[in-house]
Amino acid sequence: MTMIEALRDAHEVAMAADDRVVVYGEDVGYFGGVFRVTAGLQKKYGKSRCFDAPINEAGIVGTAIGMAAYGLRPVIEIQFADYVYPGMDQIVSEAARLRHRSAGDFTCPIVIRMPTGGGIFGGQTHSQSPEAFFTHSSGLKTVVPSNPRDAKGLLLAAIADPDPVIFLEPKRLYNGPFDGHHDRPVTSWKKHPLGEVPEGNEIVPLGKAAIRREGKDVTVLAYGTMVYVAEAAAAETGIDAEVIDLRTLLPIDLDTITASVQKTGRCVIVHEATKTSGFGAELSALVQENCFYHLEAPIIRVTGWDTPYPHAQEWDYFPGPVRVGAALKTVMES
């Protein structure tokens, strides 16, 4: 399956198993979503279970919170992560706090799905990576899958979770992972074989990272699209890098991270979002606090630029194998 197909399959499994699961958002029902993730769900489950919403992100999130408080399990789609900001008050002030402000009388089991990141020439308003906004907000869980199998399993885990989950889907990976070696546009991507995705309700637990490439020289922490870039950089430089796919940013799998960095003594952090106050800063602090006496070199972050998203320079803005490879060499020489 592609990631799109795997996500659709997760919706199918969840909706078939539990009639409390409802799916909606802008163009989600009749059209099946701008990326076609929800295609066919309305026809199969009806307009009361899969339906279109007005172009009003605050309204979409707000109604989901109300539904969740009264026993439903909404899965909502924000058409692009860039569009979520009008809904941030509902997410941060209501969804994230409902359990605590009600002393556990109410919970908010909603999933907020949104395509994230660049790579499709979407420009400033269709390419952002806003994960740090959500990881900063206590009460939210934040997930970023990197492959179809994880996308399905993590989405099923998110739907089953009793609290709000932000589910960020790297749109650059929607139609199959690329090999990571290219810093060039989509025409030059070489696709991996599509991911094998088990049938049924196979859950990938939240809060557990995956080691995608074992190594002994340096630990690379990445998520989403950057997992493949990190693997390519390690292959091109010949450095024996251990690449960890975080999968869930919150809750974070600190045990896997610290075990790897304590083994290698070095750490490079890679993400597509801007550097200043990005999630890489939190990762750097966690590594410093927990692995200080094992570090043999300063931690290095390789990220997007601290600029509004530059449409004309998209493929320079991304951390690519050249920039990541340079960081690997620098940390090994330190």
- Domain made up of 210-333: CATH architecture: 3-Layer(aba) Sandwich (3.40)
Q: Where in the chain is the domain with CATH 3.40.50.970?
A: 3-188
* pLDDT of 184 above 70: no
Residues forming the active site: 126
Q: Where are the alpha helices (DSSP H) in 18-56?
A: 41-45
Looking at domain 3-188, its CATH architecture is 3-Layer(aba) Sandwich (3.40)
Residues of the chain with CATH 3.40.50.920: 210-333
Compute the distance between CA of residue 288 and CA of residue 232 in angstroms, rounded to an integer: 26
User: Which 8-state DSSP code applies to residue 191?
Assistant: B
Return all residues near 109 (Cβ < 8 A) that are at least 6 apart.
Answer: 68, 73, 159, 161, 162, 163, 164
What was the pLDDT predicted at 182? Answer: 53
Residue type, 116: T
Whether pTM exceeds 0.85: yes
- The pLDDT-based confidence of 188 (bands split at 50, 70, 90) is very low
At 181 the pLDDT is 58
List all residues 6 or more positions away from 66 whose beta carbon is below 8 Å from its beta carbon: none
Q: Which long-range contacts (CB under 8 A, 24 or more apart) does 310-316 make?
A: 311/121, 311/122, 311/123, 311/124, 311/127, 314/118, 314/119, 314/121, 314/127, 315/183, 315/184, 315/185, 316/183
Tell me the average pLDDT of the chain.
93
DSSP per residue over 157-171, as a string?
A: HHHH-SS-EEEEEEG
How many other CB atoms are there within 10 angstroms of residue 158's CB atom? Answer: 27
pLDDT at 311: 77
Q: Give 214-261 pLDDT, tens digit per residue.
A: 999 999 999 999 999 999 999 999 999 999 999 999 999 999 999 999
Q: What is the DSSP string of 237-270?
A: HT--EEEEE--EEES--HHHHHHHHHHHS-EEEE
CA 315, 178, 124, 282 torsion: positive or negative? negative
Rg, Å, the chain Cα set: 19
